[in-house]
Amino acid sequence: MRPIVGITACSETIAGVDSQCVGDKYTRSIAVAADCVPVLIPALGVELDLRSLLKRLDGVLVTGSDTGVHPRHYGGDASRQTPDGLDPSRDATTLPLLRMAVETGVPVLAICRGHQELNVALGGTLHQFVHEVPDHRDHREDMSVPKKERYEPVHTVHFAPNGFLATLLGCEYIEVNSLHWQGIDRLAPLLVADAWADDGLIEATRLTDAPGFGVSVQWHPEWRAEENPHSLALFRAFAKACQQRAADGRCWASSA
C-alpha cells in the first residue's frame, strides 16, 4: 500500500462557483515523483475535523498559492494585501493543520506559501513585501513571460553546511525559481534555516526537536519534479518519511 499524502487546497471562485483548487503539478509530484497517493485537503477551516483527518494521513504537502497569508497572523500591516488577495479559509485550515502535524509527527513538506505558513504557524513572522526590504532582491515572478517560463531557475540558494539539503543533494548550492512576494522574516523557534538566497532571505527550513519529518522550501520543486534530480531527491526523502509512518501503523493515533 502506498502512503496517503494530503495536499492543501485553496478556496477560489471559478465561473461564479465556490471551489476547492489544487494545481496539477502538486498532485502529480506526489503521485509520480513521491510515488504516494494524493488526496485533497479542502480549505474549510473549523468545518474540517483536522485531527481525525491527520489520523488517516501518512504525510502532508502544503502547497504554494497566488494568495498571501493574512497579515493579522504575523503582525503585518492589515491595510495592505498581496496583488492576488487573501484566502482566510486556507489560513484557517493550514495554520492549525501544520501545528497539529508537527505535534503528532506527521511528515510535512511545505512549498512557497506553505513555507511561509509553516513559519507563521509555529510563531515566526514574514516580510510582507520582500522587494521593499532594503538589500533584498525582487523575488516576484516575471509577469512579462508565459506562466510556464516563470518556473525556470533565476537565482542561487546556498545550503547550510552539513544541513538536510546539503546532505541530501550532495552539493553546496543549486539554482532555483522564484515566484513570491512574501518571505520569512523572524524564524519560528522550532525551525532552523537550511538554505538562503544571495540576499540573505531564508529559502528553506527544517524542523528541530519534533517527532517527524518537516522541511519547507520557498521555491517550487514540484514543477516537473520527476525531471529534476534535486526535486526528485526531495520528494523521495519526503516519501520515505511517509512510508515509515505508514509502516509504523500511525501508532500515535490511539493516544492523540
pLDDT in tens, 114-147: 999 999 999 999 999 999 999 999 999 999 999 8
pLDDT at 79: 84
Output the nine-digit C-alpha cell for 71.
497579515
Cβ-based neighbour number of residue 6 at 10 Å: 24
Question: DSSP alpha helices (H): ranges in the chain?
Answer: 24-28, 50-54, 88-104, 113-121, 164-169, 229-247
Return d(Cα 53, Cα 9) in angstroms, integer: 14
- C-alpha distances (whole Å) from 83 to each of 5, 99, 111, 138, 140 are 30, 27, 19, 15, 11
Arithmetic mean of pLDDT, 198-225:
95
pLDDT at 80 over 90: no
Active site residues per annotation: 112, 220, 222
Return d(Cα 122, Cα 75) in angstroms, integer: 14
pLDDT at 253: 44
Give 254's pLDDT tier (boundaries 50, 70, 90): very low
pLDDT at 1: 86
pLDDT at 252 over 50: no
How does DSSP classify residue 2? P
pLDDT in tens, 211-220: 789 999 999 9
- C-alpha distances (whole Å) from 8 to each of 64, 134, 152, 169, 182 are 9, 33, 24, 26, 19
In this structure, what are the phi and psi dihedrals at residue 213, rounded to the nearest 5 degrees? -65, 135
